[in-house]
């Protein structure tokens, strides 16, 4: 019973991460960002490392996602993704912050 419960929990947690990766792909994030390498924008793992010790990291990322940003990672601007709901922007921000 204990093993089945642990396996179920693992599947749920794993699918949550997969769902947020799918959300990133659906919204075009992966056109500029990759998990571990720099494309047009920084790698998700590099963003996670930069904000790792900042208490307001989630809020900063949500703002950058929804309103865009410039000068945080060089001269290339990140366009605003204002079409994203607040809930989806939060899911993406939390997923990025957990990237390794």
- Class of domain 2-97 (CATH, top level): mainly alpha
10 has pLDDT over 80: no
Phi, psi (degrees; rounded to nearest 5) at 22: -65, -40
pLDDT in tens, 43-98: 999 999 999 999 999 999 999 999 999 999 989 899 999 999 999 999 999 999 99
Delimit the domains of the chain by residue range: 2-97
Return the pLDDT at 16.
Answer: 60
The region, left, alpha or beta by phi > 0 then psi within -120 to 50, assigned to residue 42 is beta
């Amino acid at each position: 019973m204990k093993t089945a419960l642990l396996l179920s929990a693992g599947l749920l947690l794993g699918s949550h991460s997969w769902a947020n990766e799918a959300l990133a792909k659906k919204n075009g994030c992966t056109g500029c960002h990759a998990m571990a390498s720099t494309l047009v924008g920084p790698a998700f793992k590099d963003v996670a490392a930069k904000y790792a010790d900042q208490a307001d990291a989630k809020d900063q990322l949500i703002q950058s996602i929804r309103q865009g940003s410039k000068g945080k990672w060089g001269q290339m601007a990140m366009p605003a993704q204002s079409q994203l709901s607040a809930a989806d922007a939060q899911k993406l921000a939390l997923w990025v912050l957990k990237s390794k």
